[in-house]
A and B are shown apart, each in its own frame.
Chain A
Amino acid sequence: MINLLNISKNALAAHQFSLGVTSSNIANVNTPGYSRQRPELRTLGTTDVKAGNITLSVNVTEVRRIYDNHLERQVIGQIQTAAYSSEQKSLLARLESIFEESQGGKLADNLNRFWQAWDGLALNPDGWVERRALLSETESLAHTFRDYDASLRGLTADIQERLSDSIRKVNDLLPKIADLNRRIIEVAKDDGSLNSLRDQRTELIKELASKMEIDHFENEWGAANIFLANGQNLVNNHVSELLVLNSDRTIMISGYPGIIINDTVSKAENGQISAQLRIAGRQIPEYLAKLDQLARAITEAVNSQHRLGYDQGGNAGGNFFVPTTTARGMAVNITEPRRIAASLTVGNDGQNARSIALINDKHVIDGTATINQFFASLVGQVGLDLARAQGMDEHRQLVLNNLMQRREEFSGVSIDEEMMNLIKFQLGYNAAGRLVKTADELLETLIRLGS
C-alpha cells in the first residue's frame, strides 16, 4: 500500500519536472540557438506477480536536447560560405561606388573632355582660351586618376581595419569556446545539465564560422575542438590559441612560426576574413594595376607625340605629362599654356594637337585596345565581379535560410507542441494527484478495518 504512495509521489515529481522542462522550452521560444529539450520518462521499479507486488513508478532519467549534429554541421558550413559571399558583396559594392561611372562626371567623362580639348586646340592652335582649357582638363584628368588610386588605397586600408576587427573577434571567441569546453569536460556525466552550455557553444562556433574557415568535431569528453582548414588546431579541449594579424595582411598563430592564412593560402571561399584578404590582396591590386597601365599608356602616348611638336615660342615640345608609370604619379608637366606643342612646325598649324586627339582612337594598350575600351572593360569587370558576388550571395543566403529552417524544424520550439505537452503533463500530474487520494482512501479503509 505504501508502494502506491511512493509510485504516486514519483509520478507527481516526474510530471512536475516535465512541466518545468516544458516551461523552459516555452520561455526560450525566441532564444537564438536554443534546442528544445525533452524529459526522458522511464519506468522505475519491479513487478513481482508471485509476491503480489507491483511497484512500477516513473522518473526522469535525463533531459534530452533535441539536436541533429549533422544538420548543425551543415549550418555551420553554410554560415562560412554565406559570410564569405556577403562580405565579398559588401566590399565589392564599395568598389562599385568608387567606379561609379554610370552617371558620368568621372574618369570616362574626363578622358572624353581631355581629347576634345586637344581637338579644340587643333582648330585654334594659338588660342589662349583653348590652351588654358586643355591644361585645366588635363589637371582634372590627372586629379581623377590620383583620386581613383587614393580611393582604392583607402579601401585597402579600411579592409585592413575590418580584418583586425575580425581577428579581434576571433581572439575573443576562441577562449570563450575553450572555457565552455572546460566546463563541459568537468561535468563527468551528462544528464542534460550541459544542454544550455552546448547551445551556447554552438552559437559561438557559428559566430566564429562567420569570421573564418574552420572545422570542428566533438571529442569523447564532449569538448568541441576547432581546426583551421589546414589542420592547425585553434581550440584543443580547454586550450585556445591567439591569432596575430601582420601589417602585410598575413595571419599567424601567436608563438608559432609560419603564416597560417594569407590571400593565397586561403583558397577556400569561406568566412569574412577570407573575403577581406582576397579583395584587399588580389582584386584591388588587380584594379590598381589596370589603372596604372591606363595612366602609363596615356602618359607615354601623349608625351611621345607632344615631343614631336613645337610650342608657341618655337621650342620643341617636351613631356606633356610628368613621365610616370602609375595612376598616382599622374601629373601635368606643362604649367604655361604657351608651352603646349600644338603644331608640328614652328608655324601655327595645330596638327600636333590634332594628332594627339587621334590617340583616342588608337590601340595604345598592348596594341589591342583603345584607352576608352580598356577603361570601359575595367569598369565592366568591376560591375561583373559585384553582380556575380551578388548572385552567389543570394544563392548562399537562400541555402543558409533553408538549412536554418530545417534546424528550426528539428530543434526549434513549437508553441502548439509545448501546449499539448503542458496539457499532457498537467493531466498526468492531476491523475497522479488523484492516485494519492485513492491511496489515501485505501489506507483509510484499511485502518478502519483494523479498528
Chain B
Amino acid sequence: MRVTENMRFLNTTYNLGNIKKKHEAVIEKLSSQKNINRLSDNPIGMTRLLDLRKTKTSLDQIKGNINHAKGFLSISETKLTAVSDLLIRAQELAIGQATGIATQESRAIAAKELQEIISELLTQANATFNDKYIFAGSKNSAPPFSLADPLPSISAVTAGSMNHFNGTVSAQGSFSGTANKTFVLQVTAGGALADAEYKISADGGLTWGGTQTGLAGPVNLGEGIELIFTAGNVNAAPNDTFILQAKAGGYYHGNKADLSVNLGRDITLSYNISGVEALGGQMPGGVDIFQVLIAFRDSLINNDTSAIQAAITGLNSGQNHILQAIATVGAKMNRLDLATDQVEALGLEIAKLTSEIEDANLEDLISRFTTSESALKASYQVAARVGNISLLDFLR
C-alpha cells in the first residue's frame, strides 16, 4: 500500500474533526445540563417532551382551578355554618318565646334580637369571594338576597349592546313561574317587525325554543310575560338579543346556574351552591329561611303564640336544609381533596418523566467527557507529529 502525504493529512484532519465534534456535543450537554439542546438531538423525546409540558400546564391550571374551588367552597362552608348558628339562636328564641311564660315585652325584645339575626343572616347570605356573590348562581355581580319586596317581578328589557334594532321594547304581565328566570329573545332573521324571525330561551340562552315569526304584536315569552316591540328607524337584524330578568316570589334574586371548573379531561365539578340550595325558597315543598324568620319575627311582634309555635317547625326544617347544604359543600370539598392528591401524584410523575428525557445524566456525561477529552488529546498529539518524520530526515 502506498501511503501518501495527503492521505495522512486528510485522515488526520477527518478524524480530528470527528473526535472534536463528539467532544463538543458532550461539552454542550454538560454546560447546559440538558440532554436535548436541539430538536435533532432527540426528535422522539422532543415530541414526548412537548406533550409532557402540555400536561404539566394542564395540571398547573387544574391546581389553580382546585384552589379557586376550594377557596370558594370553604367560604361557602363558613357562611353556611354561621347561618346554621344563627338559626340555632333563632330556634332557642322560638322555644323560649313559645311558652306561656313569655310576655309581650319579652317577645318584643326577642323580636329585636331576631331582627339582628335576620340582618346578620342577610350579610352572610350576601357573602362574596373574589368580589363575586357566592350564593347567587351565575348572577353573581349583584347581591342575591334582598329583604325588600318578596313579590314576583320582572325587570325592564335590556337590549344586547351590539343590537341593530333601535326601536323600544317593553315588558308587560306578571311572572307566574316559581323560579327566577332569565328570558332571552334572539332575532334569527332580520327585517321589519312583522317579518322578523326569532327564538326564545327561558334559561338565559342555554336552550332555545323553535323559530317563530313576527315581532309586531305582543310577543309571548311564556309564564305570563309579553314583550311589546315598537319599531324604530333601524330594523331588527340577526343576533339582536333582548334580555328580561323575571323574579319569582321570595327574597332570592340570583339564579340556579352551576359554576364549574375543569378537573381534567372531561371531568368537571360544579363548585357553587345557589341561594336556593343554600337558603331555600322557590322550589315546591322547599323552605325559605328568610320567609320563616320574617314570619317568626312578625309573630313575635304580634305576640301570636300559635304562630310562634308554628315557627319552631319552620326553623327545624330550615336547619335541616342548611345542614344538607353544608353536607353538599363537604362532599364537594372531599372530591377536590381527592383530585388534589391525584394532581400532585401526576405532577410528580410528569416531572420525573420530563427529567428523564430532558435532564442530562451527569455521571454518564462526565465519564464520556473524560473519555472524549483523552481521545482528543491523543489525536492532537498525533496531529502535531504528522509529517514529522520522512526519508528526508535521513538524507544528507
Contact = CB atoms under 8 A, between A and B. Distances in A.
Interface of A: 29-30, 92-93, 96, 99-102, 104, 108-109, 111-113, 115-116, 119-120, 122-124, 126, 310-311, 313-316, 318, 338-339, 343-351, 354, 357-358, 360-361, 372-373, 375-377, 379-384, 386-387, 390, 401, 404-405, 408-410, 412-417, 419-420, 423
B395 A314 contact: no
Contacts of A313: 160-162
Given A123-B68, A345-B204, A347-B257, A102 B161 contact: no
B390 A415 contact: yes
Interface in B14-47: 14, 34, 36-44, 46-47
B138 A419 contact: no
A360 B182 contact: no
B141 A345 contact: no
A99 B39 CA distance: 8
Nearest to B241: A314
A102 B49 contact: yes
B182 A347 contact: yes
A108 B241 contact: no
Contacts of B186: 316
A96 B38 contact: yes
Interface stretch (B53-61, B96-104, B338-346): B53-61
Given A345-B138, A419-B391, A124 B130 contact: yes
**CB-based closest 4 A-B pairs:** A383-B43, A345-B204, A313-B161, A380-B47
B4 A413 contact: yes
A405 B64 contact: no
Contact of B391 (A381, A382, A415): A415
7 contacts: A100-B39, A345-B182, A347-B255, A348-B138, A351-B258, A405-B10, A419-B390
A348 B140 CA distance: 7
A358 B262 contact: yes
B10 A415 contact: no
Greatest chain B CB density within 10 A among A104, A314, A372 is at A314
B39 A379 contact: yes
B50 interface: yes
A390 B48 CA distance: 21
Contacts of B41: 102, 383
B230 to A, nearest CB: 20
Nearest to A113: B57
Consensus secondary structure, chain B interface: mixed
Given A313-B160, A377-B47, A372 B130 contact: no
A115 B60 CA distance: 12
A304 to B, nearest CB: 15
A102 B395 contact: no
Interface of B: 1-7, 10-11, 14, 34, 36-44, 46-51, 53-54, 57-58, 60-61, 64-65, 68, 130, 132, 137-141, 158-163, 182, 184, 186, 203-206, 239, 241, 243, 255, 257-262, 265-266, 268, 390-392, 395
A207 B340 CA distance: 66
A93 B43 CA distance: 13
Contacts of A404: 10
Nearest to B392: A419
Given A104-B53, A109-B53, A405-B10, 12 more contacts: A102-B39, A102-B49, A116-B61, A314-B241, A360-B58, A376-B46, A380-B46, A408-B4, A408-B7, A414-B4, A415-B390, A420-B391
Contact of B47 (A93, A338, A376, A420): A376
Contacts of B60: 116
A383 B46 contact: yes
A304 B6 CA distance: 69
Contacts of B39: 96, 99-102, 379, 382-383, 386
Contacts of A111: 54
Contacts of B159: 314
B259 to A, nearest CB: 6
B160 A314 contact: yes
A310 B240 CA distance: 12
A413 B387 CA distance: 13
A186 to B, nearest CB: 31
B8 to A, nearest CB: 9
Contacts of A102: 34, 36-39, 41, 46, 49
A414 B10 CA distance: 14
In this complex, the member of A113, A123, A357 whose beta carbon has the largest number of chain B beta carbons within 10 angstroms is A123
B320 to A, nearest CB: 29
Nearest to B50: A376
B51 A315 contact: no
A408 B2 CA distance: 9
A306 B284 CA distance: 36
Contacts of B158: 314
Given A123-B261, A347-B138, A29 B6 contact: yes
Contact of B5 (A99, A120, A338, A415): A415
Contacts of B390: 415-416, 419
A349 B260 CA distance: 8
B54 A416 contact: no
Contact of A101 (B46, B162, B205): B46
B10 A346 contact: no
Of the listed residues A93, A361, A383, the one surrounded by the most CB atoms of chain B closer than 10 A to its CB is A383
Given A102-B39, A414-B4, A315 B54 contact: no
A91 to B, nearest CB: 13
Contacts of A348: 138-141
A111 to B, nearest CB: 8
B239 A316 contact: yes
